[in-house]
Amino acid sequence: MNSPLISVIIPCYNSSKFLKDTLGSLLAQTYQHWEAIFVDDGSTDDTIEIIKSIQDERIKVYCKTPEGLPCKSRMYGSRFAQGEYLVFWDHDDYSHPRRFESQISAFLAHPQAGAVYTDRIVVNTETFASREFVEDIKPPQILAPEELYKGNPVTWSSGMTKTTVFKAVDGLSTNREMIGVDDYHFWPKISLIKEIYFIPSPLTFYRVHGNNLGIDQSIFIPGLQSTLDYFLKKPDSPPKLIAYLRHQIAKSSGVLAIPESPFRAVKLIVESLRYRCPPKTLTILAYALLNFFMPYVVRKKLFMKLHRY
């Protein structure tokens, strides 16, 4: 099998708690032709020391001016990447040993693919799911574009893309407003020019904890609005993508996070109905109408309990 180089870019900030699992699963990959580019964003713990303790010439550490923006760390790391393929691996996640092997095999079998991602398992801080339990890895299948718009299934850690495709879509947005939603912007851009393939086996372990950027949905709104504006300017943007982004904005604005904007939330939801929005948007609409009659604290707790999406 041809063995192209994979550049694995891992943004870090005070990551010492998780690095043992991250480094362990990286070193355990059956596909060994990779380089790891750790980009430290001003850690004050022993993150750098832990990385440098691994005596492996494939592992490199770069320190940048602290900005608190993982998207900038990812772009910074991409400047040093030598690989034909790129992986943006979050510092707190880990992978099955055959993850890289399976993705490279998928790319070689489907040269038209621009990206290949795997299924994932969500674990918490205390849980460490075994990396060995997946016995039969299922063959890749093409991802229908509308599936990408139902819930952003591609996490940073689960995806792999061609470097040429990364450059063709102008890489990642590094605007501060894109914090927490840069993946909503990046993977759909690829879907407009290339096919995306999905390996329906859980080869990526996505860790959820109190410091995940996705926990506070209020930070999503500016970036989602910018992402929506970007795709509205693209004449080939699928209507379902526009609907999905409007749905996400509606959910985050006034419905979950901002109590003073129920009118805006309802307006955005009604607009999304024109674009064949996901059925769950109707639930959001019904809930948003309660904004006018229910105290914010009560409705937020109720919504978080009943509708976790």
Residue 189: name the closest of 125, 158, 233 by CA: 233
In angstroms, how far is CA 281 from the centroid of its own chain? 22
Nearest CA-CA partner of 80 in 23, 39, 134: 39
* Portions of the chain given CATH number 3.90.550.10: 6-214
Regarding beta strands 141-142 and 85-88, do their DSSP bridges make them parallel or antiparallel, or are they unpaired? unpaired
* 47 burial type by CB count under 10 A (0-12 exposed, 13-18 middle, 19+ buried): buried
Give which of 221, 274, 227, 275 is closest to 251, Cα–Cα. 221
* pTM flag (> 0.75): yes
The 10 Å Cβ neighbour count of residue 23 is: 21
| Those residues with Cβ within 8 angstroms of residue 137's Cβ, 6 or more apart along the chain or in another chain | 98, 102, 199, 201, 203
Task: Going residue by residue through the chain, which has 309 residues, state the pLDDT in tens, using 9 for 90 and above.
Answer: 579 999 999 999 999 998 988 999 999 999 999 999 999 999 999 999 999 999 999 999 999 999 888 889 999 999 999 999 999 999 999 999 999 999 999 999 999 999 999 999 888 655 544 444 555 688 888 987 777 776 678 889 999 999 999 999 999 988 888 877 888 889 999 999 999 999 999 999 988 765 555 445 556 777 888 888 899 999 888 888 887 887 777 666 545 444 445 566 566 656 555 544 555 556 666 666 666 666 666 656 665 554 444
Q: How far is CA 15 from CA 11, 18, 50, in A?
A: 9, 6, 9
**Taking the CA atoms of the chain, what radius of gyration do you get in angstroms?**
20
How many residues are present in the chain?
309
The domain made up of 6-214 has a fold known as Spore Coat Polysaccharide Biosynthesis Protein SpsA; Chain A (3.90.550)
User: C-alpha distances in angstroms, 107 versus 83, 142, 204, 258, 268?
Assistant: 14, 11, 17, 43, 39
pLDDT of residue 10: 97
Beta strand 141-142 pairing with 34-40: unpaired
DSSP per-residue string spanning 100-111: HHHHHHHHHH-T
Give me the helices (H) in the chain, please.
19-27, 47-52, 70-78, 99-109, 145-148, 163-168, 182-191, 220-232, 239-250, 262-273, 280-289, 296-306
- The strand pair at 141-142 and 94-95 is best described as unpaired
Question: Residue 88 — φ and ψ, nearest 5°?
Answer: -105, 100
Q: What is the 3-state secondary structure (H, E, C) of 172-223?
A: CCCCHHHCCCHHHHHHHHHHCCCEEEEEEEEEEEEEECCCCHHHCHHHHHHH
pLDDT at 182: 86
- Give the C-alpha separation, 146 to 151, whole Å: 10
Residue type, 171: G
